[in-house]
Structure 1
Amino acid sequence: MVNADLQHRWVTAFQRNIGNPILRRLPSQTLLETTGRVSGQARQTPIGGARRGDSFWFVSEFGERSQYIRNIRAHDRVRVRLGGRWYSGTAHLLPEDDAKARMRELPKYNSAVVGAFGTDLLTVRVDLDSDRA
Structure 2
Amino acid sequence: MADVRNRVTTVFQKRVANPLMRLMPFQTLLETTGRKTGRPRRTPLGGKRVGNEFWFVSEFGEKSQYVRNIKADPAVRVRLNGRWHNGTAHLMPGDDPQARLRSLPQFNSFGVRTFGTNLLSIRVDLTD
- DSSP 3-state at the match of 1:34: strand
Give the aligned length: 128
Uncovered stretches (5+) of structure 1, i.e. residues with no partner: none
Amino acid at match of 1:80: V
Do structure 1's residue 62 and structure 2's residue 46 form an aligned pair? no
- The CA deviation at 1:53 is 0.1
What corresponds to 1:73 in structure 2?
71
Match of 2:41 among 38, 43, 55: 43
What corresponds to 2:8 in structure 1?
10
Separation (CA, whole Å) in 2 of partners of 1:107 and 1:53? 16
- DSSP 3-state at the match of 1:28: coil
1:18-58 Cα deviation digits (max 9, x unpaired): 00000000001000000000000000000000000000000
For the aligned residue pairs, the C-alpha RMSD in angstroms reads 0.5
- The CA deviation at 1:16 is 0.4
- DSSP 3-state at the match of 2:27: coil
What corresponds to 1:108 in structure 2?
106
Runs of 4+ in 1 over 6 A off after TM superposition: none
- The CA deviation at 1:5 is 1.1
- The CA deviation at 1:4 is 1.2
- DSSP 3-state at the match of 2:15: helix
- DSSP 3-state at the match of 1:104: helix
Separation (CA, whole Å) in 1 of partners of 2:84 and 2:92? 23
Match of 1:94 among 84, 92, 95: 92
Q: Percent identity?
A: 60
Query: Which TM-score applies when normalising by structure 1?
Result: 0.95
